[in-house]
Amino acid sequence: MAFSEQSRPWRARGHSNPRGGLLLCHGFTGSPQSLRPWAEDHAARGWEVELPLLPGHARSERELAAARWQEWYGCVRDAALELSDQLGPIAVGGLSMGGALALALAEDPVLEDRIAVLVAVNPGITVPRAAHLAGLLAPFVPTLAGIGSDIARPGVREEAYDALPVRAVVELRRLLGTTRRDLGAVRAPLLLATSSVDHTVPPSDSDLVAARVSGEVERLALRRSHHLAPLDHDAALLFETSARFLEDHVPVPSPVGGAR
């Protein structure tokens, strides 16, 4: 599909008195468009927001097939370091694979003191059994049907690839396996938002995350939305709850920006 300006990286910086920093991570095969309403909502509340575009996304399926999971992680890690250098401890939010990336950042010992709070929306932490065969299938079946636009709200679409490169599924499996293994290292408070009906990531993935992380967990049920909740019926509920959770847990930056 054609990608619009909404799928480009987005940032809101330069508040005269910022409330804090928020890094948002989009999902697999998607783009910043899926999180743009969340980013704009929190920017209007005074947060300095970074919403990067992950390598290989919103360009072509061929570029996604050539990307490695370390590149996705490196992209958000660099953004987290830059934001926390300027503002002190930050918030990190993510949707789907972006939720796994947020959790992976909180597992990083270098970032442990730089991440004050996490918000994960329908985080993916497992892959279907068939995905374990992706490495064997890739030479013969290079793409599968896309997984975008799991939205209950009529007339709303996600800007995502129509086809799913099998080689990218191999990288996704590696990322999720690494993140799942180290969930016990996540100590930051976590708001875990889960849709009751999700055709992309099973709600049991959220249960697994809640059971394995070491920090405080608050659960938010999204009963009227499917996978892409920031674009769906429960968006306002998600944004209000996220804003309150961030206010409760992210320290206000010092007048000099909290620089390290």
Residues with catalytic function: 96, 198, 227
Please report, for residues 32, 72, 137, 170, 172, the alpha-carbon distance to residue 167 in angstroms, rounded to integers and kept in the order given: 22, 14, 9, 5, 9
Report yes or no: 144 and 161 within 8 Å, Cβ to Cβ.
no
Write the CA distances from 235 to 193, 221, 232, 239, integer angstroms.
11, 12, 6, 6
**Backbone phi and psi for residue 216, each to the nearest 5 degrees, phi listed first:** -60, 140
Can you name the residues that pair with 218 across neighbouring β-strands? 191
Rounded CA-CA distance 66/237 in Å is: 37
Residue 120 to residues 83, 142, 234, 258: CA-CA distances in angstroms? 19, 30, 15, 25
